[in-house]
Chain A
Amino acid sequence: MSKENKPGFWERNRLSGGYVLRKTVTKWGVSIIRFVLLFGLCFMILQPVLNKISVSFMTEADLYNPIVISIPEHFTTENYLLAAELMSYQKAVVNSLLISFTIAVLQISVCLLVGYGFARFEFPLKKFWFACVMLVILIPPQTIASSLHLHFRFFDILGIFKATTGNTLNLRGNVLPYYLMSAGCMGLKNGLYIFMIRQFFRNIPADLEEAAYVDGCGMFQTFTKIMLPQTKPIITSCFLFAFVWQWTDGFYSKMFLGGTKLVSTGLARLVDSLQAFIQRLTGTLTTVSVAYSNCILATGTLMIIVPIIVLYLFAQRSFVESISTSGIKM
């Protein structure tokens, strides 16, 4: 059959006995259904965010106005100013950035070591220690929270502090214990990172390392010079997880970092601070209307997630690619 007189669609359909038509209709049908479904679901996920954006620009009068639904009548940025003041936003962002970044770096570097150790070396009791990693994943931090609380309230190493100063150290509300815990892989979801990193290393062929050993490279040097350069995808994804989860974490922040102003604890306390703020203004005991406090809350939430979303947009491609190529295979 020459190129000039390629048969038309219907001609081909007739020749194939209706197969072409059926195939085309199914293909289009599937895409249309898929489009509608995905559009709906994406809208559902995005809708609260969009909604918050529109609410955050409304004045209080707009909130009660039944005609105003998504486009504010009196456009205002006052909510942002108020929320920023209540959360001490600038300070909190700087603190949170600093803490989330350092914690994430610390956690990931330690977890990399541990994950590599589990993936590549044979040693006695390996199964037992790995079971401990699983246990760390499974134990909710809340279970040990109360005793950790006391552990750091009356902190002491082998009674040294008690002997020298006559008192135990109160490390609660201090940043130090959390860094210590992170260095010991006991931070937020660290078991999960160890697990993911181990799976990743197991998928890398061992030939390169063997070659390095044969050439006289030490164990640690092999790790830093040969293995680390290959781990970019898993480091990216784990780092992002660690950063984001640390950024929004309320549990550990409330427990250890209570004294430091952070965006997550600021947000959790936002409604109360709003109430206190208004009471100070009016001088009388007043309750803030639900609508208004929710409006401020929406603004605060937006202000918290904007930095992460910016980060996410930059890292999105490498994040999604890395997580799907690194493969959390079992």
Chain B
Amino acid sequence: MHKRKKYVGLQRRKARAGYLFIMPFIIGFLVFMVRPLFQSLYMSFCTVELGAGTFNTVWAGLENYWNAFRVDPEYNRLLVEEMTRMMVYSAAIIVFSFFIALILNQEFRGRALVRAIFFLPVILSSGVIIGMESNNQLMANLANTIEQTTSGVSITGALEEILRTSGVGVRAFETVFELIDNIYDVAIASGIQIIIFLSGLQTIPKSMYEAADIEGCTSWESLWKITFPMISSLFLVNWIYTIVDFSMRSDNAVIEKIQKVMIEQLRYGPASAMSWVYFLLNLAFIGVTTLVISRGVYYYE
């Protein structure tokens, strides 16, 4: 009653129009999302038997989850590996894309060309192509040949050796080395993030930097005092986008595993259980990190 009173006259007409506008989404959501979502949740507790022209579900309790964690030989390992990889890479992607966006926001010759090249990964890292990239043995062979012909002269290799022998924080270094070795993966996954950061950077008024400059602020200081707070909300967006993007990539080992169980072995129940565990873990991770990051987000105005 209270609600209805609020929407009268034009407001009411507008409310109705609003509903009409978002109607496709509501229908689509109810038909194609809600039902499959609950069905898949239900199936994860069932054994699904495919028959001719129909399928039967038999309630099996937590058996599928038990199977995924205790019986399946790979699932646990893949899950842990993918989650760690996701954390490390997402952080690296955010830092990298912020850095690149800062550079691409400066004025220099050939900027349009460089921007075009950096956005190319949006194409190159999509869909089936990314899976092709990561297991291309020919390229690996080629890299080996090149490495051998240059007789092992490598600055990064030498640096790694020095840092390794220093013996401080070896494990942290190893992670960094892995990231540096896979910088291509990082670069190729950060196309959209660069675009988002760049669009944010362009909305910061120039006058702020000028004022800071006149007050004697160095560029380093204005980076932390102006740029960082002004686009901090975009860090949140990019972080969520990166994680979602990472968890849906087709070369993701967990996803491959689920696909294999579902499409090749036709075991729908266990596949649903596995994907629900993965989804909930991701959601929890996004939730926790979002809470932490959103504390640091500064909203201008």
Contact = CB atoms under 8 A, between A and B. Distances in A.
Contacts, number: 277
Contacts of B276: 143
A330 B233 contact: yes
B21 A121 contact: yes
Given A323-B199, A327-B202, A330-B234, A245 B39 contact: no
- The interface size bin for chain B is 35 or more
Interface in B111-142: 112, 114-124, 126-129, 131-133, 136-139, 141-142
A185 B13 CA distance: 24
B32 A181 contact: yes
Contacts of B203: 327, 329
Nearest to B145: A66
Nearest to A300: B132
Given A34-B103, A301-B129, A51 B234 contact: no
A19 to B, nearest CB: 14
A132 B240 CA distance: 16
B126 A45 contact: no
A267 interface: yes
B184 A44 contact: yes
Contacts of B250: 250-251
Interface string A286-330: 000011001101100100110011001000110110011111111
B253 interface: no
Interface in A27-67: 31, 34, 37-38, 41-42, 44-46, 48-49, 51, 55, 63, 66
B291 to A, nearest CB: 15
B17 A219 contact: yes
Contacts of A44: 183-184, 187
Contacts of B120: 45-46, 309, 312
B94 interface: no
Nearest to A136: B33
Interface stretch (B23-31, B66-74, B156-164, B166-174): B23-31
A151 B39 contact: yes
Nearest to B256: A142
B279 interface: yes
A37 B108 CA distance: 13
B72 to A, nearest CB: 16
- Is chain A's binding surface mostly helix, strand, loop or mixed? helix
B165 interface: no
A221 B13 CA distance: 14
B32 A48 contact: no
A140 B279 contact: yes
A168 interface: yes
A51 B262 contact: no
Given A37-B103, A194-B25, A122 B275 contact: no
16 contacts: A34-B103, A45-B118, A55-B138, A124-B15, A147-B39, A148-B32, A185-B25, A185-B29, A241-B122, A245-B127, A249-B128, A312-B120, A320-B116, A324-B199, A328-B234, A330-B237
Interface of A: 31, 34, 37-38, 41-42, 44-46, 48-49, 51, 55, 63, 66, 69, 110, 113-114, 116-118, 120-124, 126, 129, 132-133, 135-151, 153-154, 167-168, 180-181, 183-186, 194, 219-220, 223, 241, 244-245, 247-251, 254, 264-265, 267-268, 290-291, 294-295, 297-298, 301, 304-305, 308-309, 312, 316-317, 319-320, 323-330
Given A120-B18, A219-B14, A298-B138, 18 more contacts: A41-B100, A45-B118, A51-B139, A114-B22, A114-B25, A123-B14, A138-B244, A138-B283, A140-B244, A144-B37, A151-B36, A184-B25, A219-B13, A244-B122, A244-B126, A248-B123, A298-B136, A328-B199
